[in-house]
């Protein structure tokens, strides 16, 4: 992918202080884009956004997507050409604890950003980032395609299905003119990468256990997920935003997930992590009784993105895990989080 397209482009990102938001911000900063972010304060402690000092390299605005006036003013002031909507409550288990807040952020936040997009004339390309979990999961052995039925099971997944429907309605109601912004949704797999400090995620849990000298605990070792390095899906979002910016007919919904050989169970991912980490790392299964429902089998069919956008996965699951461990061990040796993050961005994009 040639990132020169983004040089001097004005880009607006919601949720820029999160894990994916920080990686995306740094990609765009390195590409020479004029980046504005709008997000709540750091969602985790520690925070990758804070540790990389990304705040000082872009225009960072603290705000809530549920506050429409604040969001609209921020977009009007920055006059972006491209908007990436990442702000969300992204954790399945948290959605069971706080379903109202999850629906509020993930659904109303989508309404607010789309309403703002239709009032700011500078915008030409909008990408709403949802999830692979938007589909009605039938536990099929094959990957879901973009035209499959939407109906996430848990509050998080279902709220993201609703976000997809909101986007579909706005696109047909307000953005169907040829000169209106191109509107798309991006559905990516389970994202992993260095600097993820979120709760209830497999890789952060592995690292925390090792740091504390404990055995890694895996609660759903037999669940198959489309795990992928964070740079894989972000490259998809960037290609999609660029392609539809140039050709509106390419707008739509797109899956960005790993190839078949990189769809592994959670237990297999933990085994790979222990293998590449070394130092006697190991994990154990503590499957929980009466645990909140999560899908056992989930894959994505990414044929549409490959055909229409020319996007293809670059790092398989082995490379993804190795890059995470490289990132973590570099930081432990005193390399700055910003330096190792930018190094891996350069390696990925070339």
Residues 288-319: tens digit of each pLDDT = 666 666 667 899 999 999 999 999 999 999 99
Return mean pLDDT, the chain.
Answer: 95
d(CA 333, CA 269): 25
Residue 194 has pLDDT above 70, yes or no: yes
Beta strand pairing call for 125-129 and 82-85 = parallel
The pLDDT tens digits of the residues spanning 23-80 come to 999 999 999 999 999 999 899 999 999 999 999 999 999 999 999 999 999 999 999 9
Q: What pLDDT is stored for residue 2 in this prediction?
A: 87
254 neighbors 305 (Cβ within 8 angstroms):
yes
Which residues 6+ apart lie within 8 Å of 41 measured at CB? 17, 62
pLDDT band at 261 (very low <50, low <70, confident <90, very high): confident
Rounded average pLDDT over 204-221: 91
Residue in 6, 42, 144, 156 annotated catalytic = 156
Dihedral (CA of 339, 344, 348, 350) sign: positive
Residue 286 has pLDDT above 90, yes or no: no
Beta strand pairing call for 216-218 and 224-225 = unpaired
d(CA 56, CA 36): 11
Backbone angles phi and psi of 5, in degrees to 5:
-55, -35
Beta strand pairing call for 224-225 and 264-265 = antiparallel
Q: What pLDDT is stored for residue 141 in this prediction?
A: 84
What is the CATH number for 149? 3.40.50.720
Rounded average pLDDT over 229-249: 98
Query: pLDDT over 90 for what percent of the chain?
Result: 85
Q: What pLDDT is stored for residue 291 in this prediction?
A: 62
Name which of 172-176, 225-229, 289-293, 305-309 the model is least confident about.
289-293
| ∠ CA 134-349-188, rounded to 5° | 5
Count of structural domains, the chain: 1
Bigger pLDDT: 281 or 231? Answer: 231
The pLDDT tens digits of the residues spanning 7-39 come to 999 999 999 999 999 999 999 999 999 999 999
Q: What pLDDT is stored for residue 275 in this prediction?
A: 95
156 as an active site residue: the answer is yes
Range of the domain at 278: 3-349
176's tokens: 């169907």
């Amino acid at each position: 992918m040639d990132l020169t397209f983004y040089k001097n482009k004005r880009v607006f990102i919601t949720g820029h202080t999160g894990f994916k938001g920080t990686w995306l911000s740094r990609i765009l900063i390195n590409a020479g884009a004029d980046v504005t972010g709008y997000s709540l304060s750091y969602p985790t402690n520690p925070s990758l956004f804070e540790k990389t000092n990304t705040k000082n390299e872009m225009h960072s605005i603290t705000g809530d997507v549920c506050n429409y006036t604040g969001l609209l003013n921020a977009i009007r002031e920055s006059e972006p050409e491209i908007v990436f909507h990442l702000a969300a409550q992204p954790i399945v288990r948290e959605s069971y604890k706080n379903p109202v807040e999850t629906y509020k952020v993930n659904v109303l936040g989508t309404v607010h950003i789309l309403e703002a997009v239709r009032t700011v004339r500078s915008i030409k390309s909008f990408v709403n980032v949802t999830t692979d979990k938007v589909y009605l999961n039938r536990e099929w052995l094959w990957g879901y395609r973009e035209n499959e039925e939407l109906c996430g099971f848990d509050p998080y997944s279902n709220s993201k299905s609703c976000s997809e429907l909101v986007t579909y309605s706005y696109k047909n109601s307000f953005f169907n003119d040829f000169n209106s912004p191109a509107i798309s949704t991006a559905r990516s797999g389970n994202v992993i990468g260095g600097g993820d400090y979120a709760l209830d995620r497999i890789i952060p849990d592995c690292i925390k256990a090792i740091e504390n000298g404990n055995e890694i605990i895996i609660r759903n070792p037999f669940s198959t997920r489309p795990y992928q390095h964070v740079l894989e899906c972000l490259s998809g979002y960037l290609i999609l935003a660029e392609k539809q910016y140039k050709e509106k007919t390419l707008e739509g919904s797109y899956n960005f997930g790993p190839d078949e050989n990189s769809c592994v169970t959670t237990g297999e991912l933990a085994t790979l992590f222990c293998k590449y980490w070394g130092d006697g790392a190991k994990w154990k299964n503590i499957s929980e009784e009466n645990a909140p429902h999560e899908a056992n089998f989930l894959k994505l069919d990414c044929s549409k993105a490959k055909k229409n956008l020319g996007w293809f996965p670059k790092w398989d699951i082995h490379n993804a895990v190795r890059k995470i461990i490289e990132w973590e061990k570099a930081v432990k040796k005193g390399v700055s989080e910003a330096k190792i993050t930018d190094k891996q961005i350069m390696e990925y994009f070339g």
